[in-house]
Amino acid sequence: MSDDPTAVPTPQHRPLSLRDLDAIGVDRIRGVGERKLAALREVGISTVLDLVTFYPRRWVDRTNEARVSDLEVGKEALVLVAVRSVTKRVTKNRKTMVNAVVGDGSGRLSITFFNQPWREKQLAEGLNISLFGKPEVFRGGLQMTNPIVDLIGDRTGRIVPIYPQSEKASITTWEIAGFVENALERCMARGIADPVPWSIQQRLGLLDRTDALRLIHLPETMADQARARRRLAFDELLRVQTVLVMRKRAMEREAKGIRHVIEGELVPRLRAALPYELTGAQQRVIAEIERDLEGVHPMHRLLQGDVGAGKTLVAVSAMLTAVQGGHQAALMAPTEVLAEQHAAGVRRLLADVTVPDPGNLFGDRPLRVELLTNRVTGGDRKDVLAGLADGGVDIAIGTHALIQDAVAFESLGVVVVDEQHRFGVEQRAALRDKAAGGAVPDVLVMTATPIPRTAAMTVYGDLDVSVLDELPPGRTPITTHWANGPLDEANVWADVREEVKAGRQAYVVCPLIGESEKLELASAQETFEELSGGELYGLRLALLHGKMPSAEKEAVMDRFRAGLTDVLVSTTVIEVGVDVPNATIMVILDADRFGIAQLHQLRGRVGRGQHASRCWLVTQPDPDNPTDNPRIQALVESTDGFYLAEVDLDLRGEGTIMNTAQKGRSDLRLASLRRDRELVEQAREAAFELVDPDPELADHEVLADELRLLFSSDDEEFLFKS
Ligand code: ADP
Ligand code: MG
């Protein structure tokens, strides 16, 4: 390196970028020969970049280490020991049992593993390992049963990194640690380029990247490790947020939107005709949407609201705003049943609304709402398509049939997409492309599955978010009970009979069985027969499942709606869209097969009328933990969808949320939407700070280059198409 710190860095002297590291094969690292190269490939490491971002799974803090002679019976502790001998046998009740004698200079200890036969191979004689567990007295000596084992190998230092291990790859965690150390040593002379401006590092108290990479692998203290993790997690989040913010800004820049008329007559007329007052949240959200609608940029907004929060009215208000300015609106639902229900609901709300008729100088005509699904065929379909093309249809409601090629609108102004999680980004884009003449319609995405704020920021980071966080008044909240096992279950059926006797109706939701609709159907059939002949004998039961012909499904639903059926036994087809106010009790069987969000969604089908409603969650006791079930207990405690979404994120991690949004190398490895909520917000703020004055990141070449390197080619094309 040059001695003159003010010298302009030459290419050899500038800090290493991630792209530089990605261009160096791991075969260049000391000690990596043919065999280790293959083993590293096996765990996904082929470049130095892969190697230095292969982060430890955990760290063993040897400053907390005890000597064997200091161990106390019944007190958890960490010891570092060498393996002296290992034996394996099969016990009388056919369990495998691996025993090892281990020790340090001060004494010996025996450790025992049940049903972990692979431990015999893992614990090679002479190997240095760390054990964390609770010592007990066994046959006069100390013993730990199933302790946490980390392989330390020849690593020294106070904090030992433990790398993710693969069963197959013949490479140890200390070998990886050695390779990483060698790679880092060789990087240190030039240092690693830092994409985060100094001012932001200062403000957020972040380590610089070179230190962070060193300290995550070779921390001196656990505090070092935590600071390093925070910095590197921030980088991951910043990359994702920068992509999202660039996408959002690009969309705003490039798309020519429609300036809608928000001072028109139709919306006030609708509001005047409502038999109730809007909730505060509805008023606020409608105002947010109207501000978007009158602006030049096309709206791109996510509306989150719990089941029953009154999203339909907000959607209708937005659609009417388009219509009152002479445009059309479309509402897209994920299923035919739901589209039909929306159509019925919207028609009811707009029954008396008329619009000016240009063909008739003094006249108005009724506002025209049409349904378009694959079930609308023949002449009806032709009619609807013609009406969409010539502007005769004001509001179209349908399924993805709306985005087929044959569908053209005269002037599509507002698009509402219901139940976001079933539509992809591409489908939203396809609907936007239905715009004639280049003006992009405003898009409102509605979801009844609340997601935590940080997750929304990450998964829907290119959308603005509105939240309907207030239920209309006069609802009797649903109470939820947990029936854990056959004894409790008897109470459930007694409760159902009671409720039916009082004139109410019930849903019984049958277990979700993997991915197999066939099995699901069989189980629903079986439940129906068992209940009909048993616990619910004498009541009027009906069966509903997804495989029924539509007409039959409709007939079953009609009878239930009309009160001719007491108990509707169904698969999860009722999850969306069924609205029967007299149904006041729901029983969900094998409830632990459903996720929190889905259970919450399901129980939202009751509690829709003036009678108090109940939901029973039926499970079989877990033999390992008969009294605890955090998911079920969360649902019993709370009916707040946003609270439940946070609990869900805590319990499950973000895996499922992130699936579709990020993939491959742009994955979040260290960052967690759950643990790093504050960091997500800080990263988003920083992304705006970087992108707004510099939309193409011309002055942030290090960051721009990392995005190009780490995001998939689709994203890249989008980001840097200029
Ligand atoms: P969501 O789609 O958010 O689940 P809906 O739009 O279907 O909720 O509304 C649920 C019910 O609440 C409907 O019957 C609707 O008529 C009623 N509703 C909506 N807004 C209000 C309000 N402000 N006051 C009273 N009832 C309302
Ligand atoms: Mg609804």
177-205 pLDDT per residue, tens: 999 999 999 999 899 999 999 999 999 99
Place of tokens 């640690």: 177
Expressed in angstroms and rounded, the spacing between residue 343 Cα and the centre of ligand 2 is 11
Q: Which two tokens stand for residue 172?
A: 């140890």
Q: Which two tokens stand for residue 708?
A: 């190009």
Element (H, E) at 336: helix 336-349
Lowest-confidence pick of 44-53, 147-156, 425-434: 425-434
The amino acid at 446: M
Q: Which two tokens stand for residue 621?
A: 């006791």
pLDDT of residue 649: 78
**Could you say which ligand is closest to the alpha carbon of residue 305?**
1
pLDDT of residue 260: 92
pLDDT of residue 65 exceeding 50: yes
- The answer to whether the CB of 305 is under 6 A from ligand 1 is yes
The DSSP bridge pattern shows strands 159-162 and 58-61 to be: antiparallel
Expressed in angstroms and rounded, the spacing between residue 307 Cα and the centre of ligand 2 is 7
Expressed in angstroms and rounded, the spacing between residue 269 Cα and the centre of ligand 1 is 18
For every residue of 263-278, DSSP letters joined together read: S-SHHHHHHHH-SSPP
205: left (phi over 0), alpha (psi -120 to 50) or beta: left
pLDDT of residue 515: 57
What's the average model confidence in pLDDT over 323-329? 93
Place of tokens 């939203």: 428
pLDDT of residue 635: 94
Domain 478-638 maps to which CATH number in 3.50.50.60, 3.40.50.300, 2.30.110.10, 1.10.3720.10? Answer: 3.40.50.300
pLDDT of residue 564 exceeding 90: yes
- Helices 630-637 and 641-652: angle between axes, nearest 10 degrees: 170
Confidence band of 482 (pLDDT split at 50, 70, 90)? very high
Q: How far apart are CA 496 and CA 570, in angstroms?
A: 15
pLDDT of residue 239: 93
Query: CA 632 → CA 186, 252, 481, 508, 594, distances in Å?
Result: 52, 42, 9, 17, 10
Q: Which two tokens stand for residue 165?
A: 């291990």
Which residues contact residue 145 at a Cβ distance below 8 angstroms, ignoring those fewer than 6 apart? 111, 112, 113, 114, 133, 136
* Three-state secondary-structure class, residue 38: helix
Contact (CB, 8 A) for 346 and 416: no
- The answer to whether the CB of 309 is under 6 A from ligand 1 is yes
pLDDT of residue 142: 92
Expressed in angstroms and rounded, the spacing between residue 329 Cα and the centre of ligand 2 is 17
pTM higher than 0.75, yes or no? no
Contact (CB, 8 A) for 496 and 567: yes
pLDDT of residue 4: 46
pLDDT of residue 716: 45
Q: How far apart are CA 568 and CA 556, in angstroms?
A: 9
Mutational pocket test of ligand 1: of 274, 313, 478, 610, the residue with most ligand atoms within 8 Å of the beta carbon: 313
Taking CA atoms only, the protein residue closest to ligand 1 atom 19 is 310
Give the Cβ contact number of residue 312 at 10 Å. 18
Query: CA 404 → CA 165, 399, 408, 640, distances in Å?
Result: 48, 10, 9, 37
Rg over CA atoms, the chain: 31
Residue intervals in the chain for CATH 1.10.150: 1-57+163-193
pLDDT of residue 108 exceeding 80: yes
Q: How far apart are CA 123 and CA 322, in angstroms?
A: 70
Going along 393-488, which residue ranges are E strands?
A: 395-398, 412-418, 439-440, 442-447, 464-468, 479-484
Architecture of domain 266-468: 3-Layer(aba) Sandwich (3.40)
Handedness of CA 652, 653, 654, 659 (dihedral sign): negative
Among the residues of 374-512, which ranges form H helices?
A: 378-390, 425-432, 453-459, 486-501
End-to-end CA distance of the chain: 36
For every residue of 527-579, DSSP letters joined together read: HHHHHHHTTTTTS-EEEE-TTS-HHHHHHHHHHHHTT--SEEEE-GGGGTT--
Residue intervals in the chain for CATH 3.40.50.300: 266-468, 478-638
Cα atoms in the Cβ-side hemisphere of radius 13 Å centred on 706 = 21
Give the CATH class of 1-57+163-193.
mainly alpha
| Percent of the residues in the chain that have a pLDDT greater than 70, as a whole number | 89
Q: How far apart are CA 577 and CA 120, in angstroms?
A: 55
pLDDT of residue 580: 86
Helix, strand, coil tally for the chain in percent (to 5): 40, 20, 40
DSSP 300: E
pLDDT of residue 438: 67
The amino acid at 383: D
What's the average model confidence in pLDDT over 293-301? 90
Taking CA atoms only, the protein residue closest to ligand 1 atom 26 is 472
Average pLDDT, the chain: 86
Lowest-confidence pick of 395-409, 445-459, 649-663, 693-707: 649-663
Length of the chain as a residue count: 722
Expressed in angstroms and rounded, the spacing between residue 419 Cα and the centre of ligand 1 is 16
Confidence band of 656 (pLDDT split at 50, 70, 90)? very low
Higher-pLDDT residue of 49 and 426 is: 49
Lowest-confidence pick of 17-26, 131-140, 574-583: 574-583
Confidence band of 573 (pLDDT split at 50, 70, 90)? low
The DSSP bridge pattern shows strands 442-447 and 412-418 to be: parallel
DSSP 365: E
Nearest one of 498, 505, 493 to 584, comparing CA atoms? 505
Higher-pLDDT residue of 171 and 427 is: 171
Confidence band of 658 (pLDDT split at 50, 70, 90)? very low
Nearest one of 667, 304, 595 to 456, comparing CA atoms? 304
Give the Cβ contact number of residue 269 at 10 Å. 15
pLDDT of residue 170 exceeding 90: no
pLDDT of residue 662: 40
Q: How far apart are CA 332 and CA 396, in angstroms?
A: 8
Q: Which atom of ligand 1 is nearest to the CA of 311?
A: 3
Q: How far apart are CA 348 and CA 369, in angstroms?
A: 10
Higher-pLDDT residue of 25 and 605 is: 25
Which range of 249-253, 442-446, 502-506 scores highest in mean pLDDT? It is 502-506
Element (H, E) at 240: helix 222-254
Q: What is the pLDDT of residues 114-126, one digit of tens each?
A: 888 889 988 989 9
What's the average model confidence in pLDDT over 644-649? 83
Q: How far apart are CA 293 and CA 296, in angstroms?
A: 8
Confidence band of 518 (pLDDT split at 50, 70, 90)? low
What's the average model confidence in pLDDT over 213-224? 95
- Helices 280-294 and 311-324: angle between axes, nearest 10 degrees: 30
Q: Which atom of ligand 1 is nearest to the CA of 277?
A: 23
Architecture of domain 61-159: Beta Barrel (2.40)
Going along 50-95, which residue ranges are E strands?
A: 58-61, 65-66, 77-90
Give the Cβ contact number of residue 432 at 10 Å. 19
Q: What is the pLDDT of residues 622-635, one digit of tens each?
A: 777 778 888 999 99
Higher-pLDDT residue of 586 and 711 is: 586
- The answer to whether the CB of 448 is under 6 A from ligand 1 is yes
What's the average model confidence in pLDDT over 287-293? 95
Cα atoms in the Cβ-side hemisphere of radius 13 Å centred on 302 = 24
CA angle (175, 181, 185) in 5-degree steps = 150
pLDDT of residue 525 exceeding 50: yes
Q: Which atom of ligand 1 is nearest to the CA of 309?
A: 3
pLDDT of residue 6: 44
- The answer to whether the CB of 308 is under 6 A from ligand 1 is yes
Which residues contact residue 193 at a Cβ distance below 8 angstroms, ignoring those fewer than 6 apart? 14, 15, 16, 17, 18, 209, 702
Give the Cβ contact number of residue 171 at 10 Å. 21
- The answer to whether the CB of 472 is under 6 A from ligand 1 is yes
DSSP 17: P
Taking CA atoms only, the protein residue closest to ligand 1 atom 10 is 308
Q: Which two tokens stand for residue 575?
A: 């999850």
pLDDT of residue 502: 95
Which residues contact residue 114 at a Cβ distance below 8 angstroms, ignoring those fewer than 6 apart? 95, 96, 97, 145, 146
Place of tokens 């920021």: 457
Higher-pLDDT residue of 301 and 439 is: 301
Contact (CB, 8 A) for 383 and 396: no
Taking CA atoms only, the protein residue closest to ligand 1 atom 17 is 310
User: Reading across the β-sheet that carries 614-619, which strands appear in turn?
Assistant: 479-484, 614-619, 583-588, 505-509, 567-570, 541-544
Give the Cβ contact number of residue 493 at 10 Å. 19
pLDDT of residue 718: 46
| Percent of the residues in the chain that have a pLDDT greater than 90, as a whole number | 50
pLDDT of residue 650: 78
Lowest-confidence pick of 44-48, 83-87, 659-663: 659-663
Q: What is the pLDDT of residues 425-471, one digit of tens each?
A: 555 566 666 665 667 889 998 987 777 777 777 777 778 889 998 88
Higher-pLDDT residue of 414 and 355 is: 414
Q: Which atom of ligand 1 is nearest to the CA of 307?
A: 4
Place of tokens 């050695």: 178
CA angle (338, 341, 346) in 5-degree steps = 120
Residue intervals in the chain for CATH 2.40.50.140: 61-159
Contact (CB, 8 A) for 235 and 679: no
Give the Cβ contact number of residue 366 at 10 Å. 13
Q: How far apart are CA 208 and CA 235, in angstroms?
A: 11
pLDDT of residue 621 exceeding 70: yes
**Could you say which ligand is closest to the alpha carbon of residue 310?**
1
Lowest-confidence pick of 71-80, 331-340, 609-618, 663-672: 663-672
Lowest-confidence pick of 129-133, 308-312, 431-435, 546-550: 431-435
Q: How far apart are CA 153 and CA 128, in angstroms?
A: 5
Place of tokens 């928000």: 262
